[in-house]
Amino acid sequence: MPMKNKIKVAVIGATGYTGLDLVYFLSKHPKVNIINLCATKNLGKKISLFDKRIKKKLPKINHINSINWEKIDLVFLSLPNGEAQKIIKKTFHKYHKLKYIDLSGDFRIKNKSIYFKNYNFKHKAPEFLNKSLYSISEFQKKNIINYRIIANPGCYPTSIQLPLVPLIKKNLISLKDITIDSKSGYSGAGKNLRKKFLHKNLFSSTHAYGIQNHKHICEIDQEIFKYTKKKVHFTFNPHLLPTFRGILSTIYVKANKGITAEKLRKYLADYYRSSIFVKILKLNSSIGSGNVLNTNNCEISICNTRIKQKFIIFSAIDNLVKGASGQAIQNMNLLYRLPESSGLK
């Protein structure tokens, strides 16, 4: 049964791109009471100064030390990698009702050695890796209530797994030679974009990056293996676009014998029939990110190519919503047995 009382929420990292989207959606959620908005800068200021969409009167920005954890049910951690694990290590055993939705990479990777290899520092709370759940909402609707730590997936992996995982589980496509080409708006790099990318004409050109070993590769590897118990051979390359938000992933696959594009499309349509946010388009539909911006939707299109048994899958999401804040709220809704779309329409 849906809960009667409102969920008392804290957002840590409230003034980043993802944090502001989180606060915006949470401020409209009928079952949420925002208790704390935390950041390291701009203390004492109103959150509406940073996002004009936020109309509701909310607590002013404060420091994490001002949180009374006893009064919080759920904390959203929208922080740089390495920070959420410190907070969870300090509070998990002390505040037994407290739940966490972490939007960083801290609890996505279950193997601490792989985590170290990809994030370049040792995990500070490895004892909690197996206590957390990696949750693409559509795949964890029943299981999520058994966990207190929810690892929100990366934006690229969300756009990639939503179409691929059902097809791989059903053995409809080859596990070899999958090519994934993903393009994202620059908000995915956060507000410190200029420190991460030194490219000439950054805001008026397209750039490939993370060519050999982007950190999301191990995340995709881990999750697909979880469902298939087989090694999937794929290449992945991200690109930065001179647009603020949105992701378009283009996935090139080879279907198994006798499988047509229409069969792939029909299977995905049946699989996601009860999923409110995943839209399977008509066969060979032209697609971009335009329809999904500022929504929690994922649009998927299956297209024929001129080569027999080779097909293209397009998958479009908003990197800040379905790829981050929106999926975090969708996970919260599932965690508290609320309608999935609460606060997200």
Number of C-beta neighbours around residue 113 at 10 A: 11
Q: Tell me the torsion sign for CA atoms 328, 129, 180, 242.
A: positive
In angstroms, the CA 37 to CA 52 distance is 16
The closest of 90, 91, 128, 87 to 107, measured between CA atoms, is: 128
Q: Give the chain's mean pLDDT.
A: 93
Which backbone phi and psi does 85 adopt, to 5 degrees?
-60, -35
Is the pLDDT score of 194 beyond 60? no
Q: According to CATH, where is 3.30.360.10 located in the chain?
A: 156-319
Mean pLDDT confidence for 189-201: 64
Please list, in sequence order, all residues whose beta carbon lies within 8 angstroms of the beta carbon of residue 89, skipping any fewer than 6 positions away: 124, 125, 128
Nearest to 51 by CA among 68, 67, 74, 28: 28
Which of 187, 193, 325, 317 lies closest to 245, judged by CA? Answer: 187
Instruction: Identify the three-state secondary structure at position 19.
Output: helix
Q: Which of 148-162, 199-213, 230-244 reaches the highest mean pLDDT? A: 148-162
Which residue carries 């055993």 as its tokens?
93
Neighbours of 250 (CB within 10 A): 16
Annotation marks residue 218 as catalytic = no
The number of beta carbons lying within 10 Å of the beta carbon of residue 194 is 9
CA-CA distance, 181 to 204, in Å (whole number)?
20
- Nearest of 234, 249, 232 to residue 158 by alpha carbon: 249
**Active-site annotation holder among 38, 155, 218, 298:** 155
Residue pointed to by tokens 């989180």? 22
Residue 285 corresponds to which tokens in the numbers above? Answer: 């539909």
DSSP labels, 64-92: GGG--GGG-SEEEE---TTTHHHHHHHHT
Strands 74-77 and 7-12: parallel
The pLDDT score that the predictor gives to residue 230 is 80
**Is pLDDT at 204 greater than 80 in this prediction?**
no
Q: State the span(s) of the chain assigned CATH 3.40.50.720.
A: 7-153+323-335
Domain 7-153+323-335, CATH: 3.40.50.720
Q: State phi, psi for 265 to the nearest 5 degrees.
A: -65, -45
pLDDT confidence of 1, banded at 50, 70, 90?
Answer: very low
Residue 3 has pLDDT above 90, yes or no: no
Residue 136 to residue 154: CA distance in whole angstroms = 9
- pLDDT score of 305 more than 50: yes
Report the alpha-carbon angle 164-169-173, nearest 5: 60
Quote helix, strand, coil % in the chain, to nearest 5.
35, 20, 45
H/E run at residue 208: strand 207-208
pLDDT at 192: 66
Rounded Cα distance between 219 and 62, Å, is 33
Cβ partners under 8 Å of residue 178, min gap 6: 164, 232, 233, 234, 235, 251, 252, 253
Q: Which CATH architecture fits 156-319?
A: 2-Layer Sandwich (3.30)
Per-residue pLDDT, 195: 61
Q: Residues 288-297: pLDDT tens digits?
A: 999 999 999 9
Other CB atoms within a 10 A radius of the CB of residue 119 amount to 18
Amino acid residing at 345: K
Residue listed under structure tokens 């490219």: 199
Q: Which of 33-37, 113-117, 162-166, 202-206 has the lowest mean pLDDT?
A: 202-206
Confidence of residue 205 (pLDDT cuts 50, 70, 90): confident
Instruction: Please say if the pLDDT value at position 241 is more than 50.
Output: yes
